[in-house]
């Protein structure tokens, strides 16, 4: 690993590049990254850096989001086939058809979507600000949320006292949707003192068992502020590496060891070196899509 790190450091200096890694990446990739965080954190920090090249270690929609926010920078995705099954469950064409059926609806799309879908949306949201985004919409306006049904149900439940009309696309994250109550209960029984933190992409019945429902970045804040020393973590297992690094005195237990995203694990140190050497594969969102998508993302960024 040390030889790869030296190569990557050398290439980054030559290219004026930085490595951005999502919390779900392989531990070795997280360890050599300049910035580790969730998809929105990576895009925001990328827009603030003076680097000319962004090596996005994540999946395709994240590289697109970086390109939307940083059109003057070169965005590299070391493995171009690293995609997101949930993001691929909706297309711009399908969303346009749905909008025709419900022309009065405000379209809120998860940041975990393609640039084309963002361009067809009124506003984007993250898993951390989704409730505030919903509340920013006029109370009498119907809302269509895409593409994650579980995130939409979480938002609808959290705003149930407001009587909002929320419908949603029937998409989901296969990794989070696979977590079931029986498995969570077994892990809780084995670790009775542990607090269970769940990601809002999990199913509603799983969220009902959680001590806290948080985005990935929110999970770190929750752990930091909690007096507990043991946590069951209901999200992709890659986050446990970063949690252990940041909180070495606390214990983290996966809610299910099978919560592993194969797309997130496609990027390796070797592929990062190759990407920096060849300056490819590059992800560039064309302006006719980028400008529309930027409008939805910009509205999202104004709501925390």
Spell out the per-residue pLDDT of the chain, length 304, in tens. 668 999 999 999 999 999 999 999 999 999 999 999 998 888 888 889 999 999 999 999 999 999 999 999 999 999 999 999 999 999 999 999 999 999 999 999 999 999 999 999 999 999 999 999 999 999 999 999 999 999 999 999 999 888 899 999 999 999 999 999 999 999 999 999 999 999 999 999 999 999 999 999 999 999 999 999 999 999 999 999 999 999 999 999 999 999 999 999 999 999 999 999 999 999 999 999 999 999 999 999 999 7
Q: Are residues 154 and 97 in the same domain?
A: yes
Are 101 and 163 in the same domain?
yes
Instruction: Count the Cβ atoms, other than its own, within 10 Å of residue 224.
Output: 10
Q: Is 259 part of any domain? A: no
Same domain, residue pair 76 and 91: no
Peptide bond into 147 cis (omega under 30): yes
Whether residues 98 and 74 fall in one domain: no
Give 289's strand partners.
none
Residue 32's CB: how many other CB atoms inside 10 A? 17
Give the number of other CB atoms < 10 A from CB of residue 65: 30
Half-sphere exposure of 30 (CA within 13 A, CB side): 20
Separation in Å, CA 93 to CA 96, 147, 157, 158, 264: 5, 13, 29, 30, 26
Angle between helices 2-15 and 269-278 (to 10 degrees): 30
Provide the pLDDT for residue 1. Answer: 67
Do 70 and 57 fall within a single domain?
yes
CA 35-293-172 angle, to 5 degrees, is 75
Q: Are residues 234 and 105 in the same domain?
A: no
User: What residue numbers bound the domain in which 59 lies?
Assistant: 2-84+264-284
Residue 235 falls inside a structural domain: yes
Whether residues 96 and 65 fall in one domain: no
Residue 143 lies in a domain: yes
Q: Is 31 exposed, middle or buried (0-12, 13-18, 19+ CB in 10 A)?
A: middle
Same domain, 93 and 163: yes
Residues 295 and 278 in one domain: no
- The beta strands (E) that lie in 134-175 are given as 143-146, 166-168
16: left (phi over 0), alpha (psi -120 to 50) or beta: left
3-class DSSP string for 175-243: HHHCCCHHHHHHHHHHCCCCEEEECCCCCHHHHCCCCEECCHHHHHHHHHHCCCCEEEEECCCCHHHHH
Please give the model's pTM, rounded to 2 decimal places: 0.95
Look at residue 122 and give its three-state secondary structure: coil
Residue 65 resides in a domain = yes
Same domain membership, residue 168 and residue 97 = yes
Residue 77 lies in a domain: yes
Q: How far apart are CA 12 and CA 277, in angstroms?
A: 10
98 & 166 share domain: yes
Domain total for the chain?
3
Tokens 């711009």 identify what position? 92
Residue 74 is part of a domain; what is its CATH number? 3.40.50.10800
Shared-domain flag, residues 77 and 215: no
Does any domain span residue 239?
yes
pLDDT of residue 206: 98
Q: What is the pLDDT of residue 68?
A: 96
Residue at token pair 């050497």 = 277
- Residue at 231 is within a domain: yes
């Amino acid at each position: 690993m040390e030889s790869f790190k030296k190569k990557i450091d050398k290439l980054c200096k030559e290219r004026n590049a930085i490595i951005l890694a999502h919390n779900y990446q392989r531990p070795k990739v997280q360890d050599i990254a300049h910035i580790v965080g969730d998809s929105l954190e990576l895009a925001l920090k990328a827009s603030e850096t003076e680097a000319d090249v962004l090596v996005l270690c994540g999946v395709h929609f994240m590289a697109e989001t970086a390109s939307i926010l940083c059109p003057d920078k070169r965005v590299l995705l070391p493995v171009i086939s690293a995609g997101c099954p949930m993001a691929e469950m909706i297309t711009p064409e399908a969303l346009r058809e749905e909008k025709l059926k419900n022309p009065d609806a405000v379209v809120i799309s998860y940041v975990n979507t393609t640039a084309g879908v963002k361009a067809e949306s009124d506003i984007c949201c993250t898993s951390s600000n989704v409730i505030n985004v919903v509340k920013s919409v006029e109370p009498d306006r119907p809302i269509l949320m895409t593409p994650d049904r579980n995130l939409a149900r979480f938002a609808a439940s959290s705003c149930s006292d407001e009587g909002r009309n929320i419908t949603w696309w029937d998409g989901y994250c296969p990794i989070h949707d696979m977590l079931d109550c029986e498995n969570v209960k077994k892990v809780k029984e084995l670790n009775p003192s542990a607090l269970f933190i769940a990601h809002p992409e999990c199913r509603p019945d799983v969220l009902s068992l959680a001590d806290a429902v948080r985005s990935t970045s929110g999970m770190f804040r929750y752990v930091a502020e909690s007096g507990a020393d043991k946590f069951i973590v209901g999200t992709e297992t890659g986050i446990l590496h970063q949690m252990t690094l940041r909180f070495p005195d606390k214990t983290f237990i996966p809610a299910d060891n099978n919560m592993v995203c194969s797309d997130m694990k496609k990027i390796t140190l070797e592929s990062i070196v190759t990407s920096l050497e060849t300056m490819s594969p590059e992800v560039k969102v064309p302006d006719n899509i980028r400008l529309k998508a930027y409008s939805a993302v910009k509205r999202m960024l104004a709501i925390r």
